[in-house]
Amino acid sequence: MRPFHVATIALISLLAVPLGTTACQAREKPPGEEGGANADLAAVASDALAKASALRGIALPAGHTVKSSVASKADVGRYLGDRLRATDSARLIDDTGRMLRVFGAVKPDFDMMSAFEKAATEQIAGYYDWEKRTLFVADWLPTFVQAPIMVHEATHALQDARFHLARFMTPKAGLEDVQAAVQALIEGDATLVMAEGMFPEGSSPASRQLAFGMMEQQLEAQIANLDIDPVIAESMIFPYARGLRFARLLKDKGGYAAVDAAYKELPRSTEQILHPEKYKGGGAEDPPQRVDFEVPKALAAQGFTLAMPSVLGELGVTTILRRSMAPEAAATAAAGWDGDLALLLGAPGKADAVVLVSVWDSEEDAAEAKAGFATTKNPPRALVQDGAKLAGIWGADVGDPEGVAKAALGAARFGEVVADFPEK
Per-residue pLDDT of the chain (424 residues; tens, 9 = 90+): 333 333 223 333 333 333 322 222 223 333 344 445 567 777 888 899 999 999 999 999 999 999 988 888 887 777 677 666 666 777 888 898 999 999 999 999 999 888 887 777 777 777 888 888 988 888 888 777 888 899 999 999 999 999 999 888 777 777 889 999 999 999 999 999 999 998 877 788 888 888 888 888 887 777 767 777 888 888 888 999 999 999 999 999 999 999 999 999 999 999 999 999 999 988 899 999 999 999 999 999 999 999 999 999 999 999 999 999 999 999 999 999 999 999 999 999 999 999 999 999 999 999 999 999 999 999 999 999 999 999 999 999 999 999 999 999 999 999 999 887 877 6
pLDDT the model gives residue 204? 82
- With a CB cutoff of 8 Å and minimum separation 6, the contacts of 170 are 8
pLDDT the model gives residue 282? 86
Residues 230 and 346 in one domain: no
Q: Of 251, 278, 305, which marks where a domain is finished?
A: 278
CA distance 395 to 162: 46
DSSP annotation string for 328-358: HHHHHHHTTEEEEEEEEEE-TTS--EEEEEE
CA distance 94 to 274: 27
Contact between 322 and 368 (Cβ < 8 Å): no
Residues 157 and 243 in one domain: yes
116 belongs to a structural domain: yes
What is the pTM assigned to this prediction? 0.89
423 belongs to a structural domain: no
As for how many domains the chain has, the answer is 2
60 belongs to a structural domain: yes
Residues 53 and 198 in one domain: yes
218 belongs to a structural domain: yes
283 belongs to a structural domain: no
Contact between 334 and 321 (Cβ < 8 Å): yes
Q: Of 278, 300, 321, which marks where a domain is finished?
A: 278
Residues 135 and 192 in one domain: yes
363 belongs to a structural domain: yes
Residues 202 and 334 in one domain: no
DSSP annotation string for 269-294: SHHHHHSGGGSTTSSS--PPEEEE-P
Which domain does 381 fall in, by range?
A: 289-416
Residues 162 and 269 in one domain: yes
Residues 248 and 320 in one domain: no
Residues 212 and 242 in one domain: yes
412 belongs to a structural domain: yes
422 belongs to a structural domain: no
CATH number for the domain spanning 323: value is 3.40.1000.70
Residues 220 and 112 in one domain: yes
Q: Of 278, 313, 343, which marks where a domain is finished?
A: 278
Residues 273 and 309 in one domain: no
Residues 295 and 209 in one domain: no
Residues 112 and 78 in one domain: yes
